[in-house]
């Protein structure tokens, strides 16, 4: 992981004074960089990600991320507590709105250097992993990342075809958890490698033969919970790779649960079991 604990001078901004200059051109270099980051263009954004809203800016600071530039609209003042080294640009409302994604901008955005995690960091301690297999809905992925942090998971792994965790909707759905939870893209070979490390793979499926109810599975051991694509679920190759198939019993007349809900319930059950065993 790339850390930024000492990235800023110790001196913090003592005042929330607004910069005198107001950016009124959409062609401003920093505004263009923010627009590129918002759209996920890593090349044009210089590898930075865009975050929007006071909550995410606060969470990024709390998580030790390096803020490069903070954009503030005319109708807002500069937030207090920004490190002294952060560039602050005041933009016209129209210019800032042109560079962000939400329909009703909150008047504050930032360019941030994201943390880079590796698989070893997701395997720390007694691993409890959530594996997102081809998830395409960024809201689902962001929610799962938030649940993973809430229920004590050590990491979220993503396979080929899964939406980027730095997607704007995923960022908002994670409510800042993506800044702290290791999210690592993995190959099928690396998933196979988890088994060699003694990590059991549990595949979440609908009810069927040789399927165990989640409450009867043993999640106290090192394990990974595989959650499939919203429409197709887990492909056969991932089902075959799993050590066990698990399901969430639903007495109501529904065929399946939303991927984020299913994953969150399984993470809760794992957390509950591990709490009882301690």
Under a CB-based contact definition with an 8 Å cutoff, are residues 175 and 54 in contact? no
Residues 39 and 157 in one domain: no
Residues 247 and 146 in one domain: yes
Stated as kind and residue range, the H or E segment containing 212 is strand 211-213
Residues 132 and 264 in one domain: yes
Q: Is residue 1 part of a domain?
A: no
Q: Which of 163, 174, 37, 18 is nearest to 100 (CA)?
A: 37
Q: Which of 115, 103, 155 is nearest to 132 (CA)?
A: 155
Question: In this predicted structure, what is the pLDDT of residue 19?
Answer: 52
- Say which DSSP state 217 is in: S
Q: How confident is the model at residue 250 (pLDDT cuts 50, 70, 90)?
A: confident
Residues 226 and 135 in one domain: yes
Distance from C-alpha of 264 to C-alpha of 255, rounded to nearest angstrom: 18
Residue 9 scores a pLDDT above 60: no
What token pair was written down for 249? Answer: 């019993």
Q: Which of 164, 148, 126 is nearest to 263 (CA)?
A: 148
Domain count, the chain: 2
Kindly report the length of the chain. 278
Q: Which residues contact residue 74 at a Cβ distance below 8 angstroms, ignoring those fewer than 6 apart? A: 22, 90, 91, 92, 93
Distance from C-alpha of 232 to C-alpha of 238, rounded to nearest angstrom: 12
pLDDT tens-digit readout, 23-70: 999 999 999 999 999 999 999 999 999 999 999 999 999 999 999 999
Last residue of a domain, one of 92, 113, 134: 113
CATH number at residue 89: 3.30.1330.30
Residues 101 and 132 in one domain: no
Strand partners, 185: 158
Q: Is residue 97 part of a domain?
A: yes
Q: Is residue 9 part of a domain?
A: no
Q: Is residue 252 part of a domain?
A: yes
Rounded mean pLDDT of the chain? 89
Q: Which residues contact residue 216 at a Cβ distance below 8 angstroms, ignoring those fewer than 6 apart? A: none
Residues 150 and 243 in one domain: yes
**What value does the mean pLDDT take over residues 250-254?**
82
Question: In this predicted structure, what is the pLDDT of residue 162?
Answer: 97
Q: Is residue 14 part of a domain?
A: no
Q: Is residue 29 part of a domain?
A: yes
pLDDT tens-digit readout, 93-150: 999 999 998 767 789 999 999 999 999 999 999 999 999 999 999 999 999 999 999 9
Question: In this predicted structure, what is the pLDDT of residue 119?
Answer: 97
Q: Which of 272, 268, 153 is nearest to 222 (CA)?
A: 153
**What value does the mean pLDDT take over residues 227-237?**
88
Q: Is residue 12 part of a domain?
A: no
C-alpha radius of gyration, the chain, whole number:
21
CATH number at residue 214: 3.40.1280.10
Residues 159 and 36 in one domain: no
Residue 251 scores a pLDDT above 90: no
Residues 108 and 135 in one domain: no
Question: In this predicted structure, what is the pLDDT of residue 20?
Answer: 63
Last residue of a domain, one of 67, 86, 113: 113
Domain range for 63: 22-113
Residues 84 and 212 in one domain: no
């Amino acid at each position: 992981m790339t850390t930024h604990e000492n990235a800023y001078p110790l001196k913090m901004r003592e005042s929330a004074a607004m910069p005198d200059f107001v950016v009124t051109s959409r062609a401003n270099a920093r505004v263009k960089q923010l627009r590129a980051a918002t759209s996920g263009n890593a090349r044009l954004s210089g590898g930075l990600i865009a975050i929007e809203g006071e909550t995410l800016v606060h969470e990024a600071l709390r998580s030790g991320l390096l803020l490069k530039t903070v954009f503030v609209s005319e109708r807002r003042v500069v937030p207090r507590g920004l490190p002294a080294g952060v560039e602050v640009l005041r933009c016209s409302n129209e210019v800032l709105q042109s560079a962000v994604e939400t329909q009703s901008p909150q008047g504050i955005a930032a360019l941030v250097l994201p943390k880079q995690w590796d698989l070893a960091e997701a395997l720390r301690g007694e691993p409890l992993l959530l594996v997102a297999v081809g998830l395409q809905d960024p809201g689902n992925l962001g929610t799962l990342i938030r649940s993973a942090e809430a229920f004590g998971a050590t990491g979220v792994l993503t396979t080929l075809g899964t939406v980027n965790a730095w997607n704007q909707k995923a960022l908002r759905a994670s409510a800042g958890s993506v800044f702290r939870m290791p999210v690592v893209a993995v190959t099928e070979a690396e998933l196979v490698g988890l088994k060699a490390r003694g990590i059991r793979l549990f595949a979440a499926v609908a009810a069927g033969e040789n399927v165990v109810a989640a409450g009867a599975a043993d999640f106290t051991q090192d394990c990974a919970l595989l959650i499939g694509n919203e429409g197709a679920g887990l492909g056969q190759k991932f089902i075959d790779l799993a050590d066990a198939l698990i399901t969430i019993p639903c007495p109501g007349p529904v065929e399946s649960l939303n991927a984020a809900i299913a994953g969150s319930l399984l993470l809760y059950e794992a957390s509950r079991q591990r709490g009882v065993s301690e």
